[in-house]
Structure 1
Amino acid sequence: MNSRVNELITIKEVSELAKVSQATVSRAINGHSSVKEKNRVKVFNAIEQLGYKPNTFAQALASNRSNSIGMLVGSLDGPYFGPLMHNTENIIREERLHLIVTSGQESKTKEVDSIEFLASKKVDGLIIHSDKLSDNELIKIAEDTPASIILNRNIPELAGRCIWIDNELGGYLATKHLIDNGHTKVACITGQMSKVESRDRLQGYRNALAEAGIAYDANLVIEGRFDHEGNHETVHRLMSRNKGFTAIFCQNDNIALAVYNVCSDAKLTIGEDISIVGFDNDTYSQHIRPRLTTVSFPIEQLSYEAAQGVLALINDRAHTITEKLAPELIIRNSVKQLNSDKAG
């Protein structure tokens, strides 16, 4: 890079080196779609050579943009939100924008505070993954910030701006796989029932039972958490009910990991004494033994659709998002075949 990084390098110098007008330089810096690709490349090559650092505050005033996108998530870590933020930021940064992320931490007050904080930063668009805000509240936020994408929610009034996974189908696929392998006593450890994905996955579980003519038994269902907190105690409580179940549908792989640990302590063998299906297809699910059969959550696709959707709204360009994403059952070795006519 040019040694003049710390000196005052002007748009005029960039335009002279790139052999384009100063107006073209300004439009390229501010992401205008009217700039031809070859000129955009010239401008940013010149910027790189000169070490030009645009004044972001001046840019924001000139373009009425902050060149940033706000994102609300449930948590700043974990096997779901971590990749979601990482993948989304990668796409946003390709457009020379920045992602500002804040979390709701399962609190409506904190979610509202987070949205207000992002609004105070004059973000150009929002990507919202909310557990606590109502549909009406999200509709109001989308009215205030038209370039908004809502994750994990299907709101008819915001058609074309909502992206969600078919969690009900995922719960159905997991439970049906256990039933197809001869398990008629199938327990379910849910995530927090305050979360829509937990309720949808439970409905999928119930759908699979009903389809197979198996009566729903509330004593086979217990509420856990999607994080690691308290799940070992939850598994112990479920097992102490002595309901004679041969399989458990765990609503995420963290819960399944707790089942593995409790069963190991109790000298029970997963895939023999008890069968398990998880949800999320976390990295470790293929490395634990036996390898975990689980439902794959398309986080990369969710990230892509969210980022491209908000960028299209900001730049007023055509883009049709895929609103409903399909989960996929990943069959491994944690389910025992009890019947003789189905493959496990």
Structure 2
Amino acid sequence: MATIYEVSKLAGVSLATVSRVMNNNTNVSDATRKKVTVAMTQLGYRPNSIAQSLASNCSNSVGLLVSELQGPFYGPMMSGIETAFRKQSKHVIIAAGHSDEEREQQAIEFLISRNCDGLILHVEAISDDYLIELSKGKTPFVLINRYIRELASRCIILNNVKGGYLATKHVLEQGHTNIAYISGPLWKQDAQDRLAGHKQALAEHNISFNEQLLYQGDFMEDSGTAGFQHLYNGNSKFTALICANDEMATGAMASARESSLILPEQLSIMGYDNVFFTRHVYPPLSTVNYPINEMGQMAANWILSEVYKKTTPALQTLFEPELVVRQSIITNPQ
């Protein structure tokens, strides 16, 4: 097996220069970099990343923990993060926590054991106390979609109260007064915040919140289906249905059609997230834009700035949602 010494000898440069080339140090001329890479290719030399990590105390890898690997929401976030790090020659190690406290803790411990230089965490089940204690350790981390007052500077969040408010306000402005709501799991803060925004918009229009028009889903498509059936078979009638994410909204749309309802003439439906398929369903789904790709890139910038001391655009911790109006809400329902 070739050694770094043999690479330096063949390229005619010092060991330090070979090391700078392997670590993508900018203080190397293009001509010298080419000589080193050609020598490495000829010798079949591959740097030992573990040895490099021990020598430099830097693994050039970042741990990313997400709730799920499936579905249309997490893909854009992971893509935004990976792209930002790839440009800086850093690599991402991904784990899933499945919104379970024990699994989330195990995943964090795994990522730390892999000598990740920093962590990006989209976690829901582990406690604030656990994360506050984790912040005292050696591995820096940033949170997405989670706010903890003591860790505010490392929390990248969306104003979900405003998002819930914008969704319901738009439906109300189209003349709907009987509005059903399918929430996410109400032990999750983002689901609570979106419901709070919904209630705020109702109150501004002097409409009382009706518990019979609320169904608690789980952010999955099947719970949108079950939620619509539960509400439709209940005693309270409604002309509009607001869902706390787009996946539940599409489940509700399919279930409504199975019940022979014409959309949006007989039922208007609003989503949340603005995932890619919302413009392709029929009718195209009105929703609230959740800029998760940009938030993922911002989390990457936090790590690049705080851990790798790279110059990045100004860090932003609070993002604002935007209403996306399409054709799934009818005006002046009968």
Task: Tell me which amino acid in the other structure corresponds to 2:289.
Answer: S
Task: Tell me which amino acid in the other structure corresponds to 1:334.
Answer: S
Query: Any conservation in 2 of the 1:277–1:293 contact (CA below 8 Å)?
Result: yes
User: How many aligned positions are there?
Assistant: 329
TM-score, normalization: structure 2? 0.91
Q: Report how far residue 228 of structure 1 moved.
A: 2.5
2:289 is the counterpart of 1:285: no
TM-superposition CA deviations, 1:67-86 (whole Å, max 9, x none): 21111110111111122112
Q: Structure 1 residues 257, 58: CA separation in 2 closer, same or farther (over 3 Å shift)? A: same
TM-superposition CA deviations, 1:21-70 (whole Å, max 9, x none): 542442453356xx43xx27556544543434211121011101222111
TM-superposition CA deviations, 1:181-229 (whole Å, max 9, x none): 1111111101122221111111110111111111111111111121224
> Take 2:92 and 2:222, find their aligned partners in 1: how far apart are those partners?
29
> Take 1:154 and 1:321, find their aligned partners in 2: how far apart are those partners?
16
Q: Structure 1 residues 221, 53: CA separation in 2 closer, same or farther (over 3 Å shift)? A: same
2:155 is the counterpart of 1:159: no
- Counterpart secondary structure, 1:260: helix
TM-superposition CA deviations, 1:281-315 (whole Å, max 9, x none): 12111111111111111022111101111121211
Unaligned 5+ residue runs, structure 2?
Answer: none
Query: Any conservation in 1 of the 2:101–2:125 contact (CA below 8 Å)?
Result: yes
2:108 is the counterpart of 1:115: yes
Q: Report how far residue 13 of structure 1 moved.
A: 3.6
Task: Tell me which amino acid in the other structure corresponds to 1:74.
Answer: S
Report the equivalent of 2:238. Answer: 245
Report the equivalent of 1:195. Answer: 188
2:224 is the counterpart of 1:231: yes
Task: Tell me which amino acid in the other structure corresponds to 1:239.
Answer: Y
Report the equivalent of 1:321. Answer: 315
2:98 is the counterpart of 1:105: yes
Where do residues 1-344 of structure 1 align in structure 2 (5 Å cutoff)? 8=2, 10=4, 13=7, 17=11, 21-30=14-23, 35-36=26-27, 39=28, 45-46=34-35, 48-49=37-38, 50-51=40-41, 52-317=45-310, 319=312, 320-338=314-332
- Counterpart secondary structure, 2:307: helix
TM-superposition CA deviations, 1:239-270 (whole Å, max 9, x none): 11131211111111111111111111111112
> Take 1:286 and 1:266, find their aligned partners in 2: how far apart are those partners?
23
Q: Structure 1 residues 292, 15: CA separation in 2 closer, same or farther (over 3 Å shift)? A: farther
Query: Any conservation in 1 of the 2:21–2:36 contact (CA below 8 Å)?
Result: no
Query: Any conservation in 1 of the 2:7–2:36 contact (CA below 8 Å)?
Result: no
> Take 2:144 and 2:78, find their aligned partners in 1: how far apart are those partners?
12
Q: Report how far residue 232 of structure 1 moved.
A: 1.6
Task: Tell me which amino acid in the other structure corresponds to 1:208.
Answer: A
Stretch deviating more after TM superposition (85-94 or 213-222): 85-94
Unaligned 5+ residue runs, structure 1?
Answer: 1-6, 340-344
Q: Structure 1 residues 193, 93: CA separation in 2 closer, same or farther (over 3 Å shift)? A: same
> Take 1:96 and 1:9, find their aligned partners in 2: how far apart are those partners?
22
Task: Tell me which amino acid in the other structure corresponds to 1:61.
Answer: L
Q: Structure 1 residues 48, 31: CA separation in 2 closer, same or farther (over 3 Å shift)? A: closer
Q: Report how far residue 138 of structure 1 moved.
A: 1.0
Task: Tell me which amino acid in the other structure corresponds to 1:337.
Answer: T
Task: Tell me which amino acid in the other structure corresponds to 1:310.
Answer: I
Aligned-residue identity in percent:
36
- Counterpart secondary structure, 2:269: strand
> Take 2:278 and 2:198, find their aligned partners in 1: how far apart are those partners?
21
TM-score, normalization: structure 1? 0.88
